[in-house]
Amino acid sequence: MDRERLKDVQTSSMNDDRLNEDFVVWLKTKGPTWLLMILIAVVAYLYIVNWKQGQINYRNEAWIALSEAQLPTSLEDVAVQYPDVDSVGQQARIRAASMYLQSALLSRGIGSTTENPIALGAEDRVFNLERAAALYQDVVNADTGDEGDTVIAYTAMNGLAAVSESKGDLADAASWYRKAAERSKSTFPYLSQRAQVRAENCDQYDQLVVLPESLPEDASLEGFIPSIDDNRPSSVEDVTNILTLPDFQAPTADPVTPAEEPGDQP
């Protein structure tokens, strides 16, 4: 009995030694290869994680740059720097073009304020109009016809029409309005109708209308405000002063005979 047990112990010890030797041989022959493959997989996983995080950061930076840009040149830089992030590039071009166009229409320099107006020269006005047209045209050229880009393309086409109106080319303006109507017809019928109406009435705006920012302080309102009585306001100060508003008599109500109670009837 003891001999059999001793034999089993010796056999088990020999098997364990053989397993240990096989494992050592495997480590020497194939172990480095497997360790290298595991290391490559870990490095690849870390690279993919960092790449995705970098893409997220890059996208966030693009939208932050778009929101912080306040000048047309800054917006143009954003469009060039982030051309592949959503619609950041197109929105930046439209905003920059709108600033150029607004500056030309108001004859004020970019960055001008009501408190500190900056006059815009004739050459600068022509430059702003040309720059606005170029940016709007870039947006139109990049339009792929997708429904998601309808509003951006529609805005750019209307912008080109506004530039043509500012130059006095009403035929070209009407053409761009019709293109905008066609571009938005299937997605936004309301916008399409507005552009179509504008194209039909475009030839009526062939004269420059100058709107004053405010009435002069000593300007009389004679004939502007209907006459109420002899003490009607006669100046801007009188209109804005609540103490000078005309008095109106309260309407007189007809006397109402009180109803008789049932018990008072004879």
Radius of gyration of the chain (CA): 40
CA distances from 24 to 10, 31, 34, 38 (A): 21, 9, 14, 19
pLDDT tens digits for 77-114? 999 999 888 889 999 999 999 999 998 888 888 877 77
CA 67 to chain centre: 9
Q: Is residue 38 predicted with pLDDT exceeding 60? A: yes
Compute the distance between CA of residue 65 and CA of residue 114 in angstroms, rounded to an integer. 27
Query: Could you give the residue ranges of the DSSP H alpha helices within the chain?
Result: 2-29, 31-68, 72-81, 88-106, 122-141, 150-167, 170-183, 189-200, 236-240
Confidence of residue 227 (pLDDT cuts 50, 70, 90): very low
* pTM of the complete model: 0.64
Q: What are the structure tokens assigned to 68, written together?
A: 């912080």
Q: Which residues lie closer than 8 Å to 107 by C-beta, 6 or more apart?
A: 119, 120, 125
Decide: 59 and 86 in contact? Cβ < 8 Å.
yes
Strand partners, 238: none
pLDDT tens digits for 111-137? 777 777 788 888 999 999 999 999 999
